Structure 1
Amino acid sequence: MSSHGLPTSNDPQAEPDDAAPAVDDTERQGSFTTLALLVMGVFSYLTMEMMVAPIVPFVQQELGISASQSAWMLTGLLVVGAVCLPLATRYADIADKKKVFLVVLGLSGVGAILAAVATTAPLLIAGQMLQGVGVAVVPIAIGIMRDSQPLDRARTANTIFVVSGGLGAAVAYVAVGPIVTHLHYSYIYWFPTVVIAAVVLIGLRALPACPPIAGGKVDWTGAVILGAALVALLLGLTFPTTLGWGSPLVLGLLALTVLLLAVFVAVERRHPSPLVDLRGLAEREVFGVVSINFAHSIVTFVMYVILPTVALLPIAIGYGMGGDASTAGLVLLPYALLVVVAGPTAQRLEPILGRRGNMILAAVLIVAAGLVLLPIGSAPWTPYLCSALMGLGLGIGFTQSLNTIVRVVPAERVASASGAVYLVRSVGGVLGGQIAAAIFSIGLTAAGAPSWGAILANILLIVALGVVSVGLSYLLAGRSAATATAALTPARA
């Protein structure tokens, strides 16, 4: 009898509702407390992270730092997050996930406090970099739910985590303006940190212990090699903005990335307890989820570049909205709000469409989001529609990704497999932002604004990646295949 009520197979139909074990009121109350604490931790961190980019100009002005220095507020967070993510999630797989979650969340809170009190650029950047450790909170939270709750509740929790991300983004877009106008930019750190502190203190007693299902050791050699490769990659993707893609430094960093990744693969294949389960990632559906999320993350950051730019361009140019900074934030608000809707939508559609069908639907919505921008010259409302369709498509895709990982990956590897999804999203996000910025810099008008050709090229990139995602969706099991697999595998209560 499984201690967690898990089925022998991770496939969805392997644990039908009518075979679910009875749950008493005490267990329900405990699961609600666990979910509430995890959601509060995830929401507070993601909200704080989303509010960093809009305050950069205010930080530059107050601390008197250059644009290149302030850029490290975001770059440093991404680099540290990418390096710590596989290490933290792997450690969560072989240790008590509760302890790892609270330590990671607590460190992000300490980083936020450092950034809030910083009066110099180095201290602010150090705080932001330490805050980046918190990127691991979501995959570890997913692992806690998978370990401590039945499969159906873990799936529901995935949806709620995605919704929390959407709500965090919506709050960030709406609240950052009033905060910096009427208070001080440091309050974007203080408000979430209060919630983080409460979650850590209450969670010490209220969160369930999640001892490892399987033993193992941290592959420190692999961690150092992968960390160095990710630092080289992210710096190689960041420096082209100032140095250009042909810079010897950029080319050298990208070449070093390839070399280090080759060494990493060789080391991991021989290690008895690898940092990254390469064989598991090569499994058909896991590979499909990771590949789709890489494409989706590029799309997301291309959108982050296009929509605010279009919002600020003058109407006279023919494809601008003539707005201000508030418009640039509001144009992304439908994206955040539709992500909230997308999570429950994906949950309800999966029994009808299957895993593959949900992913195809997400990809079609992304393609539609790109295409609706084409008539922007005669329909200035199209960026809002693009934002909404993008939120719905990316939200459905991300929810389905997390649910697929929970179903097809062994429970002892759920945290690290989810971490791999977040890792490729970080790398893809940096790449997408750099590609979009490079296209804009190449296609400038005489007045210094992005040309329609540059806008169109980025739109076509979104459409192309949406089409690629349709193809990658066929790596996931169709509805009939999932049902057939489930029929061969009896449930274990």
Structure 2
Amino acid sequence: MPQSAPPRVAERLSAAPSGTPLPREVGGGFVAVLAFCGIAVSVMQTLVVPLVTELPQLLHTTSSNASWVVTATLLAGAVSTPVMGRLGDMFGKRRMLMVALALMVIGSLTCAVTSDLVVMVIGRAIQGGAMGAIPLGISIMRDELPPQKLGSAMALMSSSLGIGGALGLPAAAFVAQHTSWHVLFYGAAGLGLISIALVLSVIPESSVRTPSRFDVIGALGLTAGLVCLLLPITKGGDWGWTSSTTLGLFGAAVVILLLWGVFELRTAEPLVDLRTTARRQVLLTNLTSIMVGFSFYAMSLILPQLLQLPKATGYGLGQSMVMAGLYFAPMGVAMMLVSPLSARINAAKGPKVSLVLGLIVIGATYGAGLVMMDYIWQIVVLSTALGIGIGIAYSAMPTLIVSAVPAAETGAANGLNTLMRSIGMSTSSAVVGVILAHQTTDFGGVPLPSKDGFQTSFLVACAASVGGLLIALFLPARQRAGLAGSAPVAASTPATTTDSAPVIDSAPVAAPALVGAPAAAATSAASAATESATETAADAVDLAYAEYAAEDVSALTGGVIHGRVLGPGGGPLADAAITLIDTGGRQLGRTVTGRDGRYRVPAPDTASVVLIGSATGYQPQAATLLVTDLPVVCDLRLSGGGGLTGSVRAVGGEPLTDATATATGPEGEVAATATADEKGEFALPELTPGTYTLTVAAAGHRPYATQVELTLGEPVRVDAELPPAARVRGTVRDRGGRPLGDTRVSLLDASGDVVGQVITGDDGSFGFEALTGDHYTVVASGYAPATRQITVGGAAGTERRDVDFLLGHGEE
């Protein structure tokens, strides 16, 4: 007679087993916090725009002098972006992000306690130092996010430069109209403090660093050149465009920036790497960024003033400061909503298409603005359309930059790109300010910007967008596949040509890793390179480094292949051997990396070559390069040596094809996975040294798990034998022997947890498959539940057990 269910079993049957909670979405809060920081610092651009018409009275100065309250922030932002980017690459991107946000707080508090023009300009300049937060955020995203999340995240972060500016207008207008204008700056300081707290709580410090010395002379030269350029643009109308002061400052700007460029080219560790900047994709993207920045900021200055001018002028729309800000707000909302669309366009058609499309929308918007400025609904349409165009264009720029520079230089490269945008906005502020200040009409004895001034501003901004479009058309189109690393990388890594510099993750040099290169030749060359270069590395490393540091710009505009060799954590690998061979295995060049992991080899007169990087204690890496457009930049990332290999077999020795081997780290994270081949063999070569749990599983068999310790050197081999999984079948009948359908049968493990439940069919049968434990309890529900304890598998049981039940009312 069947036994009654034990109390523990009955308790388990009365409640469903608890499920495992779903894992948290990686990067959600991370991206949101960085985007919030970008929006917060971008608010500084338009914080005082609602006050533009009142600033001369508030600060007791002229209109042209008051314009420096806007221009100072943009100018400081233009300088701070490459500076913050370089310092972030050197000392940590999160650390410098905190510095940028701290500058925002200090500058805001400085402005909050003064009504003096000079102090206000100083405070606004300190606020501008926070603009470096945006390129730093993009670089942190590249370092931390997986590739599938990076595109949309960078698009949002890049667009935050415009989103914050557009959304800041209505908020600033509301505060300024209903409270003291000083409250604007107290609010900005509060935003900065909130951003600092969020960064401390959510954002990790990136491990990617570029040890170097900060280029103080470069930073001072860039500042002086930009001041000399923007000062005459702002004051030229007052001084006279042909005056000696105006022309002298323009000339000084040209001389200073030229000397600065020469100095940067001859400096081993420059603030701005002009060699990278001179490459077509980076150069054209940055030039286009100037035009897009100009076009964006022009609308921010034109529309609020047009909306607030009295209707009695005949063209003003007579809106309050708050309403003017609200009518401008759709621009920011449109930018925020369109950034994911731009990321999809980037992925499907390439970032060049996104940039061109955005510029077309921008140009069409300003063209329409020449005749659409008479009604409020027209202003809303213009601001929304411009937001769409700016959002698409801004989102494409970091993708173009990131795909064209090495990973270790993304901070400085994105900083330079943001610098170009800031130069465009600074120039726009100065140019539009001059136009509106000098094309005026008299209204009750007060000079106000005339309708011709607004139309001229629209026309200038439209011309800037057309110029940007013409430049963008010369950007290289989406590249043909020109690179193959290891098989997993080749599918997701962009092509390596003169306009891209991906980091190629390490994989063992083998036949699948080289396109068009014989496996034996590549493997032999990699082995030979490791041995011979290691012997000479000690003598050659200083020479190689000196040659790289001393090269002038002409050396990198011709036939050269250069880049960096990085370790598993992203740091540079010194003394790594670099070998260049043709597809027949013939050696074409050889060198070793310097102290910063850089290498440089002359490019041969051939269309396709194989670049091999190797270092003692690391897995070698090879990449096929198309040398059709020089110079070529290629970074290699080598993983640690060792790894795991092994085999999976059934109890009888038969190989288990398609078995899965999974290595998990100390925290339970999956580090690598592989599928056994037709011989039952598997390999996990990409694992770095450390402690792992190896689990091997195959359908119809019990899993196998063991802990392994990996070190540099030979791979660890694990051979696993998987016993078959057990199964339990049976039939439930009544006392008369008739099968009972619709009866619930439960399977409990040795701990009393329910691991399976079935409902019997019309024939009363039930079954449980693929059991991996040894001891179970089978419970058939009835007027009184019936239980059976069984043992399957192992020495004491069998791989199949048949269990039949008889159920009846009142059964004991």
Q: TM-score range by the shorter chain?
A: 0.7 to 0.9
Q: Which residue of 2 aligns with 1:468?
A: 467
1:381-431 CA-partner distances (Å, limit 9, x unpaired): 333222221111111001100222122221111111111122122222222
Distance (whole Å) between structure 2 residues aligned to residue 124 and residue 351 of structure 1: 44
CA drift of 1:255 comes to 0.8
Give ranges in structure 2 of 5+ residues lacking alignment: 1-21, 494-504, 507-812
Q: Which residue of 2 aligns with 1:255?
A: 251
Q: What is the identity, as a one-letter code, of the residue corresponding to 1:338?
A: A
Distance (whole Å) between structure 2 residues aligned to residue 320 and residue 63 of structure 1: 25
Does structure 2 conserve the Cα–Cα contact (< 8 Å) formed by 1:80 and 1:132?
yes
Does structure 1 conserve the Cα–Cα contact (< 8 Å) formed by 2:64 and 2:235?
no
Secondary structure at the counterpart of residue 308 of structure 1: helix
Q: What is the identity, as a one-letter code, of the residue corresponding to 1:145?
A: M
Q: Are positions 1:36 and 2:35 aligned together?
A: no
Identity of aligned residues (%): 26
Q: Are positions 1:385 and 2:385 aligned together?
A: no
Q: What is the identity, as a one-letter code, of the residue corresponding to 1:106?
A: A
Q: Which residue of 1 aligns with 2:354?
A: 358
CA drift of 1:476 comes to 3.0
Q: What is the identity, as a one-letter code, of the residue corresponding to 1:467?
A: V
Q: What is the identity, as a one-letter code, of the residue corresponding to 2:481?
A: A
Does structure 2 conserve the Cα–Cα contact (< 8 Å) formed by 1:155 and 1:406?
no
Taking a change above 3 Å as real, the CA distance of residues 195 and 25 of structure 1, as seen in their structure-2 partners, is farther
Does structure 2 conserve the Cα–Cα contact (< 8 Å) formed by 1:113 and 1:189?
yes
| Alignment of structure 1 residues 66-85 onto 2, 5 Å | 67=63, 70-85=66-81
Does structure 1 conserve the Cα–Cα contact (< 8 Å) formed by 2:48 and 2:172?
no
Q: Are positions 1:126 and 2:122 aligned together?
A: yes
Does structure 2 conserve the Cα–Cα contact (< 8 Å) formed by 1:441 and 1:450?
yes
CA drift of 1:344 comes to 1.3
CA drift of 1:241 comes to 4.2
1:433-452 CA-partner distances (Å, limit 9, x unpaired): 33334444565557666555
Q: What is the identity, as a one-letter code, of the residue corresponding to 1:77?
A: T
Q: What is the identity, as a one-letter code, of the residue corresponding to 2:146?
A: P
Q: Which residue of 1 aligns with 2:421?
A: 425
Taking a change above 3 Å as real, the CA distance of residues 105 and 256 of structure 1, as seen in their structure-2 partners, is same
Taking a change above 3 Å as real, the CA distance of residues 302 and 72 of structure 1, as seen in their structure-2 partners, is closer
Q: Which residue of 2 aligns with 1:229?
A: 225
Q: Which residue of 2 aligns with 1:20?
A: none
Q: What is the identity, as a one-letter code, of the residue corresponding to 2:468?
A: S
Distance (whole Å) between structure 2 residues aligned to residue 81 and residue 345 of structure 1: 28
Secondary structure at the counterpart of residue 230 of structure 1: helix
Larger Rg, first or second structure (1 or 2): 2
Secondary structure at the counterpart of residue 214 of structure 1: coil
1:151-202 CA-partner distances (Å, limit 9, x unpaired): 3333222222245445433442222233223333233222342342243245
Secondary structure at the counterpart of residue 297 of structure 1: helix
Residue from 201, 211, 214 that aligns with 2:210: 214
Q: What is the identity, as a one-letter code, of the residue corresponding to 1:458?
A: S
Scaled by the length of structure 1, what TM-score is found? 0.84
Taking a change above 3 Å as real, the CA distance of residues 446 and 163 of structure 1, as seen in their structure-2 partners, is closer
CA drift of 1:258 comes to 0.6
Q: What is the identity, as a one-letter code, of the residue corresponding to 1:460?
A: L
Distance (whole Å) between structure 2 residues aligned to residue 378 and residue 136 of structure 1: 38
Q: More relative contact order in 1 or in 2 (CA 8 Å, sep 6+)?
A: 1
Greater helix content: 1
CA drift of 1:294 comes to 0.8
| Alignment of structure 1 residues 119-198 onto 2, 5 Å | 120-198=116-194
| Alignment of structure 1 residues 310-321 onto 2, 5 Å | 310-312=306-308, 319-321=315-317
Taking a change above 3 Å as real, the CA distance of residues 333 and 354 of structure 1, as seen in their structure-2 partners, is same
Q: Are positions 1:482 and 2:479 aligned together?
A: yes
Does structure 2 conserve the Cα–Cα contact (< 8 Å) formed by 1:40 and 1:195?
no
Q: Which residue of 2 aligns with 1:435?
A: 431
Q: Which residue of 1 aligns with 2:693?
A: none
Greater strand content: 2
| Alignment of structure 1 residues 89-104 onto 2, 5 Å | 89-104=85-100
Decide which moves more: 190-199 or 403-412. Answer: 190-199
Q: What is the identity, as a one-letter code, of the residue corresponding to 1:258?
A: V
Distance (whole Å) between structure 2 residues aligned to residue 128 and residue 476 of structure 1: 36
Taking a change above 3 Å as real, the CA distance of residues 113 and 340 of structure 1, as seen in their structure-2 partners, is same
Taking a change above 3 Å as real, the CA distance of residues 484 and 187 of structure 1, as seen in their structure-2 partners, is same
The size of the alignment, in residue pairs, is: 466
Q: Which residue of 1 aligns with 2:637?
A: none
CA drift of 1:48 comes to 4.0
CA drift of 1:220 comes to 1.8
CA drift of 1:340 comes to 1.3
Distance (whole Å) between structure 1 residues aligned to residue 436 and residue 468 of structure 2: 24
Q: What is the identity, as a one-letter code, of the residue corresponding to 1:336?
A: G
CA drift of 1:343 comes to 0.9
Taking a change above 3 Å as real, the CA distance of residues 443 and 182 of structure 1, as seen in their structure-2 partners, is closer
Please report the RMSD computed on the Cα atoms of aligned residues, expressed in angstroms: 3.0
Q: What is the identity, as a one-letter code, of the residue corresponding to 2:93?
A: K
| Alignment of structure 1 residues 1-40 onto 2, 5 Å | 25=23, 28-29=25-26, 31-40=27-36
Distance (whole Å) between structure 2 residues aligned to residue 380 and residue 61 of structure 1: 28
Q: Are positions 1:200 and 2:188 aligned together?
A: no
| Alignment of structure 1 residues 314-353 onto 2, 5 Å | 319-353=315-349
Taking a change above 3 Å as real, the CA distance of residues 389 and 80 of structure 1, as seen in their structure-2 partners, is same
Q: What is the identity, as a one-letter code, of the residue corresponding to 1:347?
A: A
CA drift of 1:118 comes to 2.9
CA drift of 1:474 comes to 2.5
Q: Which residue of 2 aligns with 1:16?
A: none
Q: Which residue of 2 aligns with 1:276?
A: 272
Distance (whole Å) between structure 1 residues aligned to residue 462 and residue 174 of structure 2: 35
Secondary structure at the counterpart of residue 81 of structure 2: helix
Does structure 1 conserve the Cα–Cα contact (< 8 Å) formed by 2:134 and 2:158?
no
